[in-house]
Chain A
Amino acid sequence: MAEKSALTAEAQRLPLAAALVERNALRRRLVADPTALAGLFIVAMVVVVTVAAPLLAPHDPNAQDVLNQFRPPSAHHLLGTDEFGRDELSRIIAGTRISVLTSLAVGAAILAIGVLVGTVSGLAGGLLDGTIMRVVDVLLAFPSLLLALAVAGTLGPGLFHLALAMTAVWWVDYARLVRGLVLGVKEQQYVESARALGMSGRRLALRHILPNIAPPVIVLATLQTARLLLALAALSFLGLGVGPPTAEWGAMLNDGKNFLDTAPQLMLYPGLAITITALGFNLLGEGLRDVLDPGLR
């Protein structure tokens, strides 16, 4: 029985590992997959905007012009102006930087924490594993947005505090996933054979276990970025995070809601920015999953 399950696991895992290690093949399959290609395109655009934001923005995003409030789109202001006469397009572009960078930073932090905790938990087993997983269960039982709201509220406003609160809440998904994957991989014979060659626990984890669980973790990381982006916008909309006048998508939504009946475009543009970016990361994640793991299709 053990042999059969090992074989099944092998059959499922092989294309993953093969796809992961052969980067050329991976690239080709990503481009061939329309979902992944669309996601890749959007994410690439977002990254370009994030990196080159100050160069791309036609105006200073914080420059007020009270004589030109609520202007419709024109050649001078491509997306019009907001309630202070600030250029909407420049604010969206500047907001990309804050929203995307914060999401990515939080994403990296929860990835690191989640992978570390999940690996330790999965490898250690026993009491430590049980304790960690109960903590994870408790965190997962709460609506995470509400919990982040509570933590951020306690810490006080500010982007850094918001990022901390999000990190504190969202690492559990990775911990749960990674632990499960580690439990499966650590029983694999190649881990046993590496152990038989006298490898230490850390070396086993870093070189023999983690590279083999990477594909699903990469997929989760991509999907998670979209979720973080939405959560960040939601929390900023509720008034946590950046204070005025900094441009941030969620905060812009919040500013715009007061003028919903007269100038609905002020909510439409940041809303679209959030939606398109989140969609891009989601499509990329879905595409990566199809490419990395044909078994899940």
Chain B
Amino acid sequence: MSDRPALLEVRDLRVTFPTRAGDVHAVSDVTFSVGRGERVGLVGESGSGKTATALAISGLLPQSVSMSGSIRLTGRELTGLGRRDRRKLCGAHVGMIFQNPQSSLNPAMTVGRQIVEPLRLHLGLSRVSARTRALELLDEVGMPAPARSFDEYPHRFSGGMRQRAMIAMALSCRPELIIADEPTTALDVTIQAQILELLARLCAEHDSTLLVITHDLGVLAGLADRILVMYSGRILEEGPVDCIYHRALNPYTLALLAAVSRIDRPLEKLRPIPGDPPSGLQMPSGCVFHTRCPHVTGICRTEVPALLPGADPGHRCACHLAGHLDGLPLDAGARR
């Protein structure tokens, strides 16, 4: 864990979606904390429960979804809060940046009014001061010609500009915690880099705490301080960025790293992970990754591995074989 005082503490979080076919366990026993000012990346493939975790924190899960465990923001328990209190928290204390900027701005409202709305709602600013603040925000996120952009409708904007507007909205009330759910997935690579740089800069300037959710380990390299690796609703490994990139212990993390395309590595070395993640309806017994793990042994099928500390400070890994994988074929390539 981090040496900084915790801003967000998630303990034993479980999220279950009831469906016709049965309960889908999206998140199981997830425990982590994020220190104030820290930038944490939550990595996993589709269906790993990363978005469900983010929605649970921001209180946006549909009411039909059952959730248990504890989520604390600056020591305040969020799980039992009423709808009204929850709403006050959203926007004012937790800001969300969504995946698809094409669809996360209201097409029938000018960009300016969309930024002004939370300012007036949460900070009680007057029309004029909210406008001034919104213009500052647009400038801050690098929007060209803020005064003109203010009165434009979102369909006039490019994807990158929309994502900047989205960031301005999320940051408008200076929330303590910013959750960015796949902030660059829908963008061109060059725009991606700009947006990531913008996020990193804004977080540094405001000492904001950032939780970035992504399936792309490459996105986190320059952005995050710490990485949590999720698979099938569980955290399999967590640790500081260079620890995860260079000294990962979990076979899943290693497989993920081997699947990242890199310009300095021949394409043949790009290794997909065989098989599919288990369906949320029927979780495998024991370790959730054992159905695809190349090193699976007997104990993996029966017992859930605990998240145990590794050699580096803050490094934790949930694998029965952690530390015993040296020389095995998979990790040789991944570790470079």
Binding site for B on A (CB under 8 A): 3, 6-7, 9-10, 13-14, 17-18, 20-22, 188-200, 203, 207-208, 211-212, 214
Known A-B contacts A192-B98, A193-B98; the reply to A198 vs B104 at CB < 8 A is: no
Query: Which B residues are CB-close (under 8 A) to A200?
Result: 87
Tell me if B122 counts as interface (CB < 8 A to partner A): yes
**Is the Cβ of A193 less than 8 Å from the Cβ of B117?**
no
**Is the Cβ of A17 less than 8 Å from the Cβ of B90?**
no
State which residues 94-123 of B face A: CB under 8 Å: 94-96, 98-100, 102-109, 117-118, 121-122
Query: Which A residues are CB-close (under 8 A) to B87?
Result: 198-200
Cα–Cα, bound, A212→B106 (Å): 8
**Is the Cβ of A10 less than 8 Å from the Cβ of B109?**
no
State which residues 68-96 of B face A: CB under 8 Å: 87-92, 94-96
Among A13, A18, A22, A198, point to the contact of B122 (Cβ < 8 A). Answer: A198
Tell me if B166 counts as interface (CB < 8 A to partner A): yes
Among A9, A189, A191, A198, point to the contact of B121 (Cβ < 8 A). Answer: A198
Among A196, A208, A214, point to the contact of B96 (Cβ < 8 A). Answer: A196
Binding site for A on B (CB under 8 A): 58, 60, 87-92, 94-96, 98-100, 102-109, 117-118, 121-122, 153, 155, 166, 169-170
**Is the Cβ of A197 less than 8 Å from the Cβ of B102?**
no
**Is the Cβ of B117 less than 8 Å from the Cβ of A17?**
no
Cα–Cα, bound, A207→B116 (Å): 13
* 28 A-B contact pairs sorted by A residue (CB < 8 Å): A10-B103, A13-B107, A14-B107, A17-B107, A17-B153, A18-B153, A21-B153, A189-B98, A189-B99, A189-B100, A190-B105, A192-B104, A193-B98, A193-B169, A195-B60, A196-B58, A196-B60, A197-B90, A197-B169, A198-B87, A198-B92, A198-B122, A199-B117, A199-B121, A203-B121, A207-B109, A208-B106, A214-B108
| Pair count A-B, CB < 8 A | 95
Query: Which B residues are CB-close (under 8 A) to A188?
Result: 103
Among A3, A14, A18, A199, point to the contact of B100 (Cβ < 8 A). Answer: A3
Query: Which B residues are CB-close (under 8 A) to A20?
Result: 108
Known A-B contacts A21-B153, A207-B109; the reply to A197 vs B117 at CB < 8 A is: yes
Cα–Cα, bound, A197→B216 (Å): 26
The residue of chain B having its C-beta at the shortest distance from the C-beta of A215 within the complex is B108
Interface core residue of A3, A18, A189, A214 (most chain B CB under 10 Å): A189
> Closest approach, in angstroms, between the C-beta of A127 and any C-beta of chain B?
13
**Is the Cβ of A197 less than 8 Å from the Cβ of B107?**
no
Cα–Cα, bound, A207→B120 (Å): 14
Cα–Cα, bound, A196→B109 (Å): 17
Among A3, A189, A196, A212, point to the contact of B90 (Cβ < 8 A). Answer: A196
Among B96, B117, B166, point to the contact of A207 (Cβ < 8 A). Answer: B117
> Closest approach, in angstroms, between the C-beta of A178 and any C-beta of chain B?
16
Cα–Cα, bound, A208→B107 (Å): 9
Query: Which A residues are CB-close (under 8 A) to B90?
Result: 195-198
